[in-house]
Amino acid sequence: MTIRWFPGHMGKALEQIEEQIRKIDVVIEVLDARLPFSSSNHKLAALRNNKVWIKVLNKNDLADPAVTKAWVRDFQLQAGVRALPLSAKKHADTKPLIKLCKDLVPRRGQPGFPVRAMVVGIPNVGKSTLINTLAGRSVAKVGDRPAITKSTQQIDLRNGIVLSDTPGMLWPDMKDQEGAYRLAASGAIGDNALDYTSVGLFAGEYLLRRYPGLLKDRYALQELPESAHDLMIAVGRKRGLLATGGVVDLHKASEAFLRELRAGKIGRISLEEPVADPPVPE
C-alpha cells in the first residue's frame, strides 16, 4: 500500500511559517528520537536562511540510547545546528532547552527583547506537549492522534522567550515510502491513510532484524519467528486476537503490535540510524 497523507491545512501552514520565520531568532524543530530523519520535514530546510536551528529529539525515553547518541553527533556536525534529546513530558528535561535558546541568541532574552523562537515539526512528534511543559500550563492542544494543531499562536513563557506554535506539517509528495512507513509505525500518519497490517508487517520485519531479543522477551517467544507474518501470528495468539475458527485476525494483531511499539512496551527502539548520505524526500 502506498501511503499518502497531506490534509489541506498543512499547505497553509507552510505559507504561515515562511512568512513568520523572518522575525524569528531560533527555530526549534521537534523530531521523534526514534526516527529523526524521517520525522524531519525537509521542506523547512529551504526556509532556514541561516537561522539558529535546534533539533529536539523528543520521546528520547522510547528510543535506543546508543542510536540517539549517534544522531546527536550527526546533527551537530551541521553548521548552526544543535541537537538536544529529551522527553517533552518531563519538566526537568526541558530546562536545558531554555538555556540553550538564550545562549544561542545572547543579544536577546532581556525585558522587552525576548528570544523569539518558533516550534515546528511534523504531526504527533510532541510539539504541543513540549510547549505546554515549557509554559507550565496548558496552552496548546494535545492528543494521541496527529494533526491536532491547525493554526499558529504565540505563547509568552514569561522567562525571556516567546514561542510561536505552528501546525504539524508533512511534505505533499511522499516519494520516500520507506520513510512514510516508519512514520506510520510511529503514529505520525492519520489512521485513514494507512493499512495496519502492511505497517505492522513492515515494523515487524525491521524489529526481527534489529531487536530480536526485545521481541522474544516481550512476547515470551521460545524461538524467533522466521518472518514478519509469523511474528504477527504469534502476537495475535499471545493476545487472544482470534477470528472465527481460531484463526488469528492479522489486522487486529498488527494494530496491537503497533500500539505496543508506539508506547515503548516492546522496549527502547529506534527505527532508523544515521547514514552518510540519506535520501531527501522531494
Task: Assign residue 242 the CATH number of its domain.
Answer: 1.10.1580.10
Q: What is the C-alpha to C-alpha distance for residues 57 and 37, in angstroms, rounded to an integer?
A: 10
Domain that holds residue 24: 8-165
- 154 and 216 within one domain: no
Tell me the three cell numbers of residue 162: 516567546
Buried b (16+ CB within 10 A) or exposed e, 202-215: bbbebbbebbeebb
Residues 93 and 224 in one domain: no
Pick the last residue of a domain from 148, 165, 182. 165
Contact by Cβ (8 Å): 249, 193: no
The reply to whether 22 falls in a domain is yes
Indicate whether 220 and 105 sit together in one domain: no
Q: Are strands 161-165 and 153-156 parallel, antiparallel or unpaired?
A: antiparallel
pLDDT, residue 4, reads 54
Pair 239, 148 in one domain:
no
Asked if 241 contacts 248 with a C-beta cutoff of 8 angstroms, the reply is: yes
Q: Please check whether residue 65 lies inside any domain of the structure.
A: yes
CA distance 244 to 120: 46
Domains in the chain, number: 2
Q: Which helix (H) or strand (E) holds 54?
A: strand 52-58
Residue 267: inside a domain: no
Query: Does residue 99 sit in the same domain as residue 146?
Result: yes
- Per-residue confidence of the chain (282 residues) as pLDDT tens digits? 665 545 555 556 677 777 788 889 999 999 999 999 999 887 777 777 788 899 999 999 999 999 999 999 999 999 889 999 999 999 999 999 999 999 999 988 777 899 999 999 888 899 989 999 999 888 876 544 444 444 568 899 989 999 998 877 765 556 778 888 999 999 888 777 789 999 999 999 999 999 999 999 999 999 999 999 999 999 999 999 999 889 999 999 999 999 999 999 999 999 999 985 444 444
The CATH number given to whatever domain includes residue 122 is 3.40.50.300
